[in-house]
Amino acid sequence: MISRGRSLFLGLLFAATLHAGSGQAESLITSLSSDQVLIESNFTGAEIVIFGQIGRDGQTVARPGNYDLAVVLRGPEQIVTTRRKDRFLGLWVNREAETFYAVPSFYVMSSTRPPTEMGHRTMLEKYGIGINYLNLPISPQSEVPLSDRDDFRDAFLRLRRQQGVFSEQAGKVEFLTDSLFRTTISLPATTPVGVYTVDTYLIHEGAMLATQEKGLTVAKTGFEQMAFDLAHQRPALYGVLAVVIAVFTGWLAGVVFRKD
Amino acid sequence: MQIYLPIAEISVNMFLIFGMGGAVGFLSGLFGIGGGFLLTPLLIFSGIPPAVAVATVTTQIVASSSSGVLAYWRRGAIDMKMATVLLIAGVVGSAAGAWLFEILKNMGQLDVVISLSYVTFLGTIGGLMLVESVGAIRRRRQGSNRPARHPGQHNWIHGLPFKMRFRQSKLYVSVIPILALGAGIGFLGTVLGIGGGFMMVPALIYLLRMPTGIVVGTSLMQILFTMAAATILHAMTTQTIDIVLALILMVGGVIGAQFGARMGQKLRGDQLRLLLALLVLAVGVRFAVDLLITPDDFFSVAIKEGKG
């Protein structure tokens, strides 16, 4: 990891020198320590290091103050239903439900400062920077009264945080030099598989200067992938195999523990 | 040691799952039940997605029941004709159960129906068994012998038409209650993700008056085939059987079952039934508490589409 990080770092410096000199505004270059995370049987999570360089040259506008950076990792989108329990005939049962469409299955935002300090609500919402500024689309036919919608939204975000799939880490983007920065994002053992995006936003005094997007693939490998493919592509065979394995295990136990 | 489950798509502690399988296997060997009604809630509680837990437990029950069936088969303690009739009805019941399962899942009311059913069935059966076993223990303490059961003893069930002869069970009864029993348990089993052994065994003994020696083997035979069919159905429809999870549970389960069976031989029948009654009641009460007590969190999230 260390040697990989160093070569990545040098590569970035090189790339930055080539890239600079394109014009007035800053440019942004980022790179991931790895663009794919492979899940094997001993997978307990992974760490992704994101390096980046803010490109400036003589022609770039001089700006007072510091730059802000936000790095957002988003998992593949999914449809999630949030339900609320209510009393019905003395029993606590699910009553109202709100379905959110196209929400990320995984969301981590790492930034130099808390989102509210980096810019205005409009900008944060536009780019989805910060858990509270995420766009959570609902169905137009939603039956939840307007006054209750925020409750569902808050509950959804709170539960996703509790489950460890939504998180924010303000102050975790560190500058190595004036223009070179780095941040680390941890993927937990519950990380969903799929294609992720890593978006880096360069902000200065509330204005978006540059953005960069990188892809990250989280995929199963080896036996895990084989079992998953079999279960989905040859379901009948998978079922029969499961039964055969189960009967064999039962039979084996009977033979091993047989008293006579 | 953490191990990644390819279908559940999460990492779990292998020894924790192994221990759960072992503990439930122990109880299953001790009481002659499948233990699905204990294992499914335990898995869900430990973070396995409910759909994966329900489907994978069916595979685990295939393993545990096949080990038992083999033992009873060697002793010739299985009524194949009875098992076949129960099985045919069971398939019809399971199909109806799968249909209801899908409807309830879409309505978001699956949890409450499952909880209510657990409370009702576990409460009723646990209560009946408790009364019966306490009575039996008291009678034994007082030294009075239980009236011996006459093979020809009849109840209202024996007055029904469409009679069929079951040689092994020494029964000549109507097929109606047998079909109803098989269909009812198949139906509940599919909806609740359980084998239904804890309902089947008392029903065969008390309703049909089948000889106790034949009941457990016959019930296990019916469970084995129903759960094998359920495994294949789950594999083809929900695709949520996790073979790695199933294997860990199976190995833990079959080892636990052997120790349970040995322990069971040291205890008296009425003591065993009392313990099982208390266990069944405890699970029932646990579900009742969830329905009656104000929840800590009113909200819950469920993924409808997409991974995660």
Q: What is the pLDDT of residues A131-144, one digit of tens each?
A: 999 988 888 888 88
Q: Answer yes or no: is pLDDT of B167 > 70.
A: yes
pLDDT confidence tier of residue B145, bands split at 50, 70 and 90: low
pLDDT confidence tier of residue B154, bands split at 50, 70 and 90: low
Tell me which residue range forms the domain holding B46. Answer: 2-144+153-292
Whether residue A138 sits in one domain with residue A52:
yes
Inter-chain CB proximity A192 and B308 less than 8 Å? yes
Of A45, A93, A224, the CB nearest to B6: A224
pLDDT reported for residue A1: 43
Tell me which residue range forms the domain holding A111. Answer: 2-218
Inter-chain CB proximity A189 and B64 less than 8 Å? no
Domains in chain A: how many in total? 2
Task: Please calculate the CA angle B61-B262-B277 and round it to the nearest 5 degrees.
Answer: 65
Q: Answer yes or no: is pLDDT of B183 > 70.
A: yes
pLDDT reported for residue B274: 87
Whether residue A252 sits in one domain with residue A181:
no
Q: Which residues of B touch A39 (CB under 8 A)?
A: 4
pLDDT reported for residue A12: 55
pLDDT confidence tier of residue B155, bands split at 50, 70 and 90: low
A184 lies within 8 A of chain B by CB: no
pLDDT reported for residue A173: 93
**Smallest CA–CA separation between A236 and chain B, in Å?**
6
Q: Which residues of A touch B67 (CB under 8 A)?
A: 249-251, 253-254
A97 lies within 8 A of chain B by CB: yes
Nearest residue of chain B to residue A154 (CA atoms): B299
**Smallest CA–CA separation between B71 and chain A, in Å?**
7
Whether residue A8 sits in one domain with residue A59:
yes
Of A44, A80, A236, the CB nearest to B303: A80
pLDDT reported for residue A132: 92
A84 lies within 8 A of chain B by CB: yes
Whether residue A206 sits in one domain with residue A103:
yes
* Phi then psi dihedrals of residue A113, to 5 deg: -140, 165
pLDDT reported for residue B308: 46
Whether residue A203 sits in one domain with residue A116:
yes
B301, part of any domain: no
**Smallest CA–CA separation between A79 and chain B, in Å?**
5
Tell me the range of A138-142, B46-50, B183-187, B210-214 where mean pLDDT is highest. B183-187
Q: Spell out the residues 6+ positions from residue A71 whose beta carbon is closer than 8 angstroms to its own.
A: A30, A50, A52, A109, A110, A111, A173, A183, A185, A198, A199, A200, A201
Whether residue A251 sits in one domain with residue A207:
no
How many residues are listed for chain B in this entry? 308
Q: Answer yes or no: is pLDDT of A16 > 60.
A: no
Whether residue A199 sits in one domain with residue A96:
yes
**Among A7-16, A96-105, B194-203, which stretch is predicted with the lowest mean pLDDT?**
A7-16
- Bridge partners (DSSP) of residue B305 are A79
**Smallest CA–CA separation between B277 and chain A, in Å?**
25
pLDDT confidence tier of residue A103, bands split at 50, 70 and 90: very high
Q: Answer yes or no: is pLDDT of B28 > 90.
A: no
Q: How far apart are CA B83 and CA B1, in angstroms?
A: 41
Q: Which residues of B touch A160 (CB under 8 A)?
A: 301
B303, part of any domain: no
**Smallest CA–CA separation between A114 and chain B, in Å?**
27
Whether residue A201 sits in one domain with residue A111:
yes
Whether residue A50 sits in one domain with residue A169:
yes
A40 lies within 8 A of chain B by CB: yes
A107 lies within 8 A of chain B by CB: no
pLDDT single digits (tens) A30-39 = 999 988 999 8
pLDDT confidence tier of residue A237, bands split at 50, 70 and 90: very high
Whether residue A176 sits in one domain with residue A50:
yes
* Phi then psi dihedrals of residue A65, to 5 deg: 80, -175
ipTM tops the 0.85 cut = no
- Helix segments in B108-196, DSSP class H: 110-142, 175-192
